[in-house]
């Protein structure tokens, strides 16, 4: 294939005598990218990439093959197809941050030097690399090949894999990796780099997709020491939760979770689990699982309300916020439960912005939960934030583990919890319970 003749053909392991290689014209993809690191960012541009691969082994198997060419070609073509006609973005970049705008399906790329790029979300693919160079693309494709057929290659006695990526004829890079078991079982870290300022101003770039919306504040010395990335707040913009070490395109699916779902599907038998319709199911299921448990990664749930706690003179009368929807995941069966929450409280001069109740509830709900614990965590957080005279929280939910398995009986469960120094005052207690509603199955801690 063009551009691959310059790659060395020596074996990375002296004890492997057999090699197979694929480098065909249809193993290619066209994509846009830019490379950014501290002090530098190049304009967005594109390449017609070509991909090749080699595998080394000590000997062919009983069927005469080291590995069937078709198996290797199929997986590489699939990887190329996923990146074709996309903008390649490095999820592990130490100078870029990514925010998704739910209202417009746009992906905003932020650099702390004050530069922003806004791209259509569906045109982008987030890769678990630091830079979108040919070197790191070769490493990424090699890791994808291993994640998809590494076990199969291992069983056939394959010793190593080399992936070659060319940006144009005569210009490319190669990555070699061992297929031996001790090299495949590499633990995945969740730690991220902290973004550093990118010093190239947008005005110096001939880049039509750049948008200078406003100057972003530079990270302080305190935030620079943190492993968390600070995103510019917006009502419709939500930060993408990115893993430093391995983040799948277009979301937050983790490879360990994806592999676990793949193994789970294999229990259905080879015929059912190999259906083409299920090819991306492990990735989709892992992505959904990570989304539904995203609250587990938030160390301080109270930070979800920001500065929306207000001192209001004379605020002492009942406040009731009702019908807040929530969705959670049962920790016993990993099945969903969902419902609505109601909250009522008697403030003591301090109130919370109404929308923040929903945000705070979501932090606790988006994790493996019990409804009883969720109720108590929510009411405890509200009490800690506001120090009201009294507060009551009621959650009413339906549980899939009740309606879809076991007894298979549809029902709803209500839990109620009260907090505060005056929660036992008969007059206040009656108003609180009226505020959050009564009836249904109640598991209250009064």
Q: What's the pLDDT at 8? A: 45
Q: Where is pLDDT greater, at 64 or 444? A: 64
Would you state the pLDDT for residue 195?
37
pLDDT tier, 242 (very low <50, low <70, confident <90, very high otherwise): very low
User: Where does the pLDDT of residue 304 fall: very low under 50, low under 70, confident under 90, or very high at 90 and above?
Assistant: confident
| DSSP for residue 210 | B
**In the structure encoding, which two tokens stand for residue 256, read together?**
């360990």
How many alpha carbons lie under 13 Å from residue 102 in its C-beta half-sphere?
A: 7
Residue 341 has pLDDT above 90, yes or no: yes
Pick left, alpha or beta for residue 69 (phi over 0 → left; psi -120 to 50 → alpha; otherwise beta): alpha
28-33 vs 86-90, strand pairing mode: parallel
Q: How confident is the model at residue 102 (pLDDT cuts 50, 70, 90)?
A: low
Q: Sort residue 251 into left (φ over 0), alpha (ψ -120 to 50) or beta.
A: left
For the domain made up of 297-445, give the CATH fold. GTP Cyclohydrolase I, domain 2 (3.30.1130)
Domain ranges for the chain? 18-252, 255-292, 297-445
Of the pLDDT bands very low, low, confident and very high (cuts 50, 70, 90), residue 14 is: low
Closest CA to 353 of 302, 308, 387: 308
Q: Which of 257-266, 344-353, 386-395 has the lowest mean pLDDT?
A: 257-266
Residues with catalytic roles: 330-333, 371, 399, 401
Three-class SS state of 244: coil
pLDDT digits (tens, 9 = 90+) for 183-200: 554 433 333 333 333 333
Question: Mind listing the pLDDT tens digit for each residue in 130-174?
Answer: 999 999 999 999 999 999 998 899 989 999 999 999 999 999 999
Chain Cα centroid distance, residue 93: 15
Residue written as tokens 């691969």? Answer: 53
Could you tell me the pTM of the whole model? 0.46
- Least confident interval from 124-128, 341-345, 405-409: 405-409
Band of the pLDDT at 98, cuts 50, 70, 90? confident
Q: What is the mean pLDDT of residues 168-182?
A: 88
* Separation of alpha carbons 94 and 195, rounded Å: 4
- pLDDT tens, residue by residue, 352-373: 999 999 999 999 999 999 999 9
pLDDT at 238: 40
Examine the pLDDT at 211 and tell me if it is beyond 80: no
* Distance set, CA 396 to CA 186, 342, 412 (Å): 43, 9, 7
Residue 85 above 70 pLDDT? yes
Count the Cβ atoms, other than its own, within 10 Å of residue 311: 8
Percentage of residues in the chain with pLDDT exceeding 70?
77
Note the pLDDT of residue 407.
80
Give me 10's structure tokens: 């020596």
Indicate the pairing of strand 86-90 with strand 124-127. parallel
pLDDT at 410: 84
Give one word for 419, left, alpha or beta, with left for phi > 0 and alpha for psi -120 to 50. Answer: beta
SS3 144: helix
> Can you name the residues that pair with 163 across neighbouring β-strands?
53, 175
* Closest listed residue to residue 303, CA positions, set 375, 374, 231: 231
Instruction: For the chain, give the mean pLDDT.
Output: 80
Topology, domain 18-252: Tetrahydropterin Synthase; Chain A (3.30.479)
């Amino acid at each position: 294939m063009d551009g691959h003749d310059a790659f060395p053909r020596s074996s990375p392991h002296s004890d492997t005598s057999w090699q197979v290689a694929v480098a065909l014209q249809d193993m290619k993809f066209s994509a846009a990218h830019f490379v950014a690191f501290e002090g530098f960012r190049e304009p967005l541009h594109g390449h017609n990439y070509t991909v090749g691969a080699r595998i080394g082994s000590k000997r062919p198997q009983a069927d005469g093959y080291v590995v069937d060419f078709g198996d290797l070609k199929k997986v590489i073509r699939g990887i190329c197809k996923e990146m074709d006609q996309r903008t390649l973005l490095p999820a592990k970049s130490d100078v870029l941050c990514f925010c998704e705008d739910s209202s417009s399906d746009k992906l905003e790329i932020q650099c702390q030097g004050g530069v922003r790029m806004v791209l259509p979300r569906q045109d982008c693919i987030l890769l678990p690399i630091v830079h979108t160079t040919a070197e790191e693309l070769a490493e990424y494709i090699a890791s994808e090949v291993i994640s998809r057929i590494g076990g199969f290659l291992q069983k056939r006695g394959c010793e190593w894999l080399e992936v070659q990526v060319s940006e144009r004829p005569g210009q490319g890079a190669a990555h070699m990796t061992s297929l031996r078991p001790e090299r495949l079982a590499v633990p995945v870290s969740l730690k991220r780099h902290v973004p550093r300022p990118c010093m190239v101003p947008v005005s110096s770039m001939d880049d039509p997709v750049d948008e200078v919306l406003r100057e972003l504040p530079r990270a302080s010395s305190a935030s620079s020491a943190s492993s968390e990335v600070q995103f510019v707040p917006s009502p419709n913009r939500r930060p993408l939760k990115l893993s430093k070490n391995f983040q799948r395109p277009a979301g937050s699916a983790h490879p360990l979770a994806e592999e676990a779902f793949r193994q789970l599907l294999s229990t259905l038998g080879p015929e059912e689990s190999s259906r083409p319709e299920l090819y991306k199911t492990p990735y989709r299921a892992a992505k959904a699982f990570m989304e539904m448990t995203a609250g587990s990664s938030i160390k301080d749930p109270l930070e979800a309300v920001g500065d929306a706690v207000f001192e209001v003179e004379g605020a002492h009368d009942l406040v009731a916020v009702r019908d807040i929807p929530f969705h959670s995941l049962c920790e016993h069966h990993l099945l969903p439960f969902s419902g609505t929450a109601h909250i009522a409280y008697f403030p003591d001069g301090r109130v919370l912005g109404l929308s923040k109740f929903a945000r705070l509830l979501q932090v606790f709900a988006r994790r493996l939960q019990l409804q009883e614990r969720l109720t108590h965590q929510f009411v405890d957080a509200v009490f800690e934030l506001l120090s009201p005279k009294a507060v009551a929280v009621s959650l009413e939910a339906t549980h899939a583990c009740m309606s879809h398995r076991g007894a298979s009986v549809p029902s709803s469960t209500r839990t109620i919890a009260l907090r505060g120094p005056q929660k036992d005052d008969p007059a206040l207690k009656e108003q609180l319970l009226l505020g959050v509603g009564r009836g249904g199955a109640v598991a209250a801690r009064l």
